[in-house]
């Protein structure tokens, strides 16, 4: 949030406050700054931005940002349960059970955590570290 605020506040006539928890920025513009310039400043900080919908009910079910994360969570949980079960219950450990565990865990580590990996890579390019870096 601090990087975004600094980038936006560096623009002439712009006062910005960013709430990282709600993923929203409040921007007051006193000069000749266009919305495209504001979005470009946020993108140079390593994040994405979009203008708010004019009507509160304008968003559609297809635009639900949590739908993709929910799918990742469900698939990752389904693949993780047998891995934990095989590791914790000796009766489920057959010859070379570790290979099955690796096969089931690899998609969780790579695909399930892909949003964290992307965020960590973006932060690395900007020379910073966040909680995404620790998770990734």
pLDDT computed for residue 43 by the predictor = 86
Are 118 and 101 a contacting pair, CB within 8 Å?
A: no
Q: 112: pLDDT confidence band, cut at 50, 70 and 90?
A: very high
Are 12 and 31 a contacting pair, CB within 8 Å?
A: yes
pLDDT computed for residue 59 by the predictor = 55
Q: How far apart are CA 45 and CA 123, in angstroms?
A: 9
> What average pLDDT does range 114-134 have in this prediction?
89
> Closest by alpha carbon to 15, among 33, 36, 133?
33
Q: How far apart are CA 77 and CA 72, in angstroms?
A: 8
Q: 20: pLDDT confidence band, cut at 50, 70 and 90?
A: confident
Q: How far apart are CA 103 and CA 33, in angstroms?
A: 51
Q: What is the pLDDT of residues 40-90, one digit of tens each?
A: 888 888 888 888 876 655 556 566 778 999 999 999 999 999 999 999 999
Strand partners of residue 26: 17
> What average pLDDT does range 29-47 have in this prediction?
85
Both tokens of 66, joined, read 């949590």
């Amino acid at each position: 949030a601090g990087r975004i605020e600094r980038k936006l506040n560096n623009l002439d006539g712009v006062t910005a406050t960013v709430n990282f928890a709600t993923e929203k920025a409040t921007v007051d513009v006193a000069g000749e700054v266009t919305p495209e310039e504001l979005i470009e400043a946020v993108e140079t900080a390593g994040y994405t931005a979009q203008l708010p919908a004019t009507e509160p009910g304008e968003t559609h079910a297809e635009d639900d940002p949590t739908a993709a994360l929910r799918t990742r969570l469900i698939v990752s949980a389904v693949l993780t349960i047998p891995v934990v079960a095989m590791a914790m219950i000796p009766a489920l450990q057959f010859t070379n059970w570790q290979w099955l565990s690796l096969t089931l865990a690899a998609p969780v580590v790579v695909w399930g955590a892909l949003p964290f990996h992307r965020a960590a890579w973006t932060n690395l390019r900007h020379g910073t570290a966040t909680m995404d870096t620790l998770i990734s």
